[in-house]
Structure 1
């Protein structure tokens, strides 16, 4: 017979001992009372056990915790979505000319007012001769500022060029107008070429389908589509274009020199798609990327040249042998069909051998 205390102890052990946890003493499930003499109404709640994956055990019989797998890296972030080209405010050049003329006229009138006109201007009526006082200096400052603003903001807008304006690090807009314009001279401006342009690269490293090193010069036709992203989205959009072309050449297999034209066109289409996708986020529009010159790398050029020569020689030899064999077969067949010769197998072999030697000798004599 077992005592009730033993039964209770055994039932408690079954409750806290299973295949996924180790045996825990009962007194560890309860903390001491916060104050002596104060009865505890109920034990502190036991924190939930960590999740177990697969029911396996780790070292010491502890459950195996799930491993954290790092999230895969996402695509590169695009530039600021608010950085989109928008037109900036620009006034006709006549406004700047008028403001500058008014400023110059104001300086002349102030000099007349102060009575300090130079000797060449004595033909004008005599001024008040008030002298150079605070009012005159204030008039000089205002007229001079107006003249500087008027003439300093004059600029010429040309076809195929744009001005990107910014102030205090903030994009203010783009001016694509042509002719004489007035732009606030206090706003910094940056000129950018928006014409259709082509760029022939220097030889860049590439490989063919067999992994043989090549040097490829490409011709890129492109233009700036969004001036805001091209000027402010990257440090140098032309250098960024070169890097994108070089990266695309490392991913596309270019056919070696002398291969089919269709394969070269396929490589150009693949290069165009890759470069256009990479540069579209910075405001560039790539129309085509075509291999202009493909050659073997200097370290393998001699070996590949010898290999090409050997392949051409083998192909010529195979073609010559096929021609000789066809000629011998046609000759023997025609002689037999016309009844000119009656040969057994041994005589036929000898005739074929002699004709082959004769045709090969005659072919070598005809080749210079």
Structure 2
């Protein structure tokens, strides 16, 4: 049997200032009448009853600040939620539960999970949430704050398994997959949607969700750092070689078009070799003066 979903509705309450005046004036009027009557039995009884009524009226007072709500119940039955600020009043035999409707900021604990490729990573999230439906938050879950904390951890673990920590060595271009480190905005949107679905049962709205911490687990952090450094070196080398080839090609084309020097295939090969060494070397090239010829 499925659980009945609670729905927030406005409660029937009254202005607290007016009821405060009534609660104070009622016993005052009763005791004043008893004092003027000279201690007669009936006026004294009326004064006592007026005092009890005034006390009961004062017991029904409560105050609400902005972005607060008061759930009103009658013997366990939900009668609505009052969101009006200031001094409010309800019949004293109604029970009341105050709930904050303000935005709350939660940073989850650091979790060790495996990413899409099975690498252990440490991850944590910062989530901004608020109560949207007070009835659901109070009556559809046991403890809505603990419920949200657990769902954040669960959703974060699930999100981590959908993405790799970083791009692989051969992933380039527009077809590369999204990753936790390089695509923080997309991951944040996915996490927010995931959490919004998970906390719907508690009447909670997720305003923002972002990764607050992301790192490889300590046992593989050193190895992954060395791999990233090696990939960075290879990528830089690849770019240098591509640029050098383009420059050599342009140099040969200009020499040929301007007829600066006539080069046969052997001389072209030697020139290409020398230029590539100069352009791709880590150290500055040392000039060598050749007083002979290429052939002897």
TM-score interval (norm. to shorter): 0.7 to 0.9
Q: For structure 1, which segment, 267-276 or 306-315, has the greater mean C-alpha deviation from structure 2 after superposition?
A: 267-276
Q: Does 1:269 align with 2:189?
A: yes
Counterparts in 2 of 1:170-319, with a 5 A limit?
A: 170-252=77-159, 253-256=162-165, 263-319=183-239
Q: What is the Cα deviation at residue 350 of structure 1?
A: 2.7
Match of 2:27 in 1: 103
Structure 1 residue matching 2:127: 3-state secondary structure:
strand
Compute the TM-score of the two structures, normalised by the length of structure 1.
Answer: 0.63
Q: 1:100 and 1:129 mapped to 2: Cα distance?
A: 22
Question: SS where residue 11 of structure 2 aligns?
Answer: coil
> In structure 2, do the counterparts of structure 1 residues 343 and 279 end up closer, same or farther at CA, with 3 Å as the change threshold?
same
8 Å CA contact 1:208, 1:255 repeated in 2: yes
What RMSD in Å do the two structures reach over aligned CA positions?
Answer: 3.2
The equivalent residue for 2:290 is: none
- Aligned pair in 2 of structure 1 residues 129, 205: CA closer, same or farther (>3 Å)? same
- Gap regions ≥5 residues in structure 1: 1-76, 114-126
Normalized per residue, the structure richer in strand is: 2
Q: CA deviation at 1:162?
A: 0.5
**Are the aligned partners of 2:108 and 2:152 in contact in 1 as well (CA < 8 Å)?**
no
Partner of 2:254: 334
Change (3 A) 1:309 1:194: same
CA deviation digits over 1:138-187, x for unaligned, max 9?
45642332221122222223321110122433323211222221123333
Asked if structure 1 preserves the Cα contact closer than 8 Å seen for 2:9 and 2:80, the reply is yes
CA contact (8 A) 1:206 1:254 kept: no
Of the structure 1 ranges 250-259 and 220-229, higher mean CA displacement relative to structure 2 is found in: 250-259
5 Å matches for 1:1-368? Answer: 79-81=3-5, 83-93=6-16, 94-110=18-34, 112=35, 128=38, 136=44, 138-139=45-46, 141-252=48-159, 253-256=162-165, 263-361=183-281, 364-365=283-284
- 8 Å contact from structure 2 (residues 108, 153) kept in 1: no
Q: CA separation in 2, counterparts of 1:143 and 1:314?
A: 90
Deviation track 1:275-299 (CA, whole Å, cap 9, x = no partner) reads 2222222222234433344333333
The answer to whether the Cα contact below 8 Å between 2:30 and 2:43 also exists between their aligned partners in 1 is no
Change (3 A) 1:134 1:214: farther
- Alpha-carbon distance in structure 1 between the residues aligned to 2:267 and 2:147: 76
Give CA deviations for 1:297-323 in whole Å, capped at 9, x if unaligned: 333333222222221111112212222
Structure 2 segments unaligned to the other structure (5+ residues):
168-178, 286-296
What secondary structure is seen at the aligned counterpart in 1 of 2:199? helix
Relative CO higher for 1 or 2, CA cutoff 8 Å, sep ≥ 6?
Answer: 2
- Structure number with greater Rg is 1
Alpha-carbon contact 2:30-2:47 (below 8 Å) kept:
yes
The answer to whether the 8 Å contact 1:86/1:174 transfers is yes
How far apart, in 1, do the equivalents of 2:48 and 2:123 lie?
Answer: 62
Change in CA separation of 1:141 and 1:307 when aligned onto 2, cut-off 3 Å: farther
